[in-house]
Amino acid sequence: GENVEQHPSTLSVQEGDSAVIKCTYSDSASNYFPWYKQELGKRPQLIIDIRSNVGEKKDQRIAVTLNKTAKHFSLHITETQPEDSAVYFCAARNLYSGGGADGLTFGKGTHLIIQP
Amino acid sequence: DTAVSQTPKYLVTQMGNDKSIKCEQNLGHDTMYWYKQDSKKFLKIMFSYNNKELIINETVPNRFSPKSPDKAHLNLHINSLELGDSAVYFCASSAKKPGTVDPRHSTDTQYFGPGTRLTVL
C-alpha cells in the first residue's frame, strides 16, 4: 500500500517569512495529492490539491509543487501570518483505484508555528 | 461551510461497551469515509462506502462496522470497546465513486465532519 512521509514534524517561522513542508510517497500509482490544514480541535480542511499531470499549482500565498520522478511534493506558504499556525497534513491517493480502503493516505502532519 | 455533521461530538464510555457514532452529509455526495485520528494526530482511513460497496482497511478490527441506512448517512458501530479505541473519529464524504475517473477535480475533494472524540475508560 501507499506510505507517505512528511517533514518536518514541527516548523517554527517568523511572521512574514516563508514556510516549506515536504512529503514523499511510495506508490507510483498515486496521482492525487491534497494538503489539509487542521486547527486545534477542528476538522481537517482542504487548502490546496494537485494532480499528477501538473507540476505546480498556486493559490494566493499557497503553492504546491510535485516531482513525480522523485515521488515527492511540497507545500509552500509565503508571507506567513499568525492565522497560518496549525497542523498541516499532506496526503496521497490513486484516484483510479478501487482497491484498499480507497481513502487518503496521510502523512503524520507538520505543526506550523508562526512567531510574531 | 461544509455540510458533513457528526454526533455526538464527545463520547465517554467504559471498556466493553458498544457504541455508535452518526454521520450525515447533505452535499449529495456518493462516497463516505471514516478516519481515525490517534493521540499523535495521525489520520488513518478505516472505511470507504459507495452505493452499498464497502471497502475496508485490512488493519481495522472487525469490532468496527459501518452501517449506511441511505446515501446521506454512514454510521460507525463499535462493539466491545477497548482502551486503544480512544481517538477522534472523522467522517468524510466526496462526490467521487472509488475506482472511477472524474474530470472535475473538485469532486475528488474529501470534506470532513467536525469529529467525535471517543474516550474509553
pLDDT grade, residue B74 (50/70/90)?
A: very high
Task: Establish if B115 touches chain A: CB-CB under 8 angstroms.
Answer: yes
Residues of chain A with Cβ-Cβ distance to B90 below 8 Å are 43-44
Q: Residue A100 has what pLDDT? A: 45
Say if the Cβ atoms of A98 and B101 lie within 8 Å: no
Main-chain phi, psi angles of B107, to 5 degrees: -75, -10
Least confidently predicted of A44-48, B28-32, B82-86: B28-32
Of residues A89 and B101, the one with the higher pLDDT is A89
pLDDT tens, A9-57?
A: 999 999 999 999 999 999 999 999 999 999 999 999 999 999 888 899 9
- Chosen for mutation from B52, B110, B111 (greatest number of chain A CBs closer than 10 Å) is B110
Burial of A11 (0-12, 13-18, 19+ CB in 10 A): middle
Helix (H, G, I), strand (E, B) or coil at B15: coil
Distance from the Cα of A107 to chain B's closest Cα (Å) equals 8
Distances (CA, A) of A112 to A96, B16, B37, B40: 32, 38, 18, 15
Task: Establish if B89 touches chain A: CB-CB under 8 angstroms.
Answer: no
- Residue A38: all three cell numbers together: 487542521
- Residue B94: all three cell numbers together: 466526496
What is the average per-residue pLDDT within A103-113?
Answer: 95
- Give dist(CA B105, CA B99) in Å, integer: 15
Q: State the sign of the Cα–Cα–Cα–Cα dihedral B75, B38, A12, A89.
A: negative
Least confidently predicted of A94-103, B2-11, B81-90, B100-109: B100-109
pLDDT tens, B92-114?
A: 998 866 555 555 445 578 899 99
Task: Establish if B3 touches chain A: CB-CB under 8 angstroms.
Answer: no
Distance from the Cα of B67 to chain A's closest Cα (Å) equals 16
Distances (CA, A) of B120 to B6, B65, B117: 18, 18, 10
pLDDT grade, residue A97 (50/70/90)?
A: low
- Asked if the model's pLDDT at residue A98 lies above 80, the reply is no
Q: Residue B108 has what pLDDT? A: 76
Residue in chain A closest to B53 (alpha carbons) equals A98
Q: Mean pLDDT for chain A? A: 93
Task: Establish if B72 touches chain A: CB-CB under 8 angstroms.
Answer: no
Q: Residue B50 has what pLDDT? A: 85
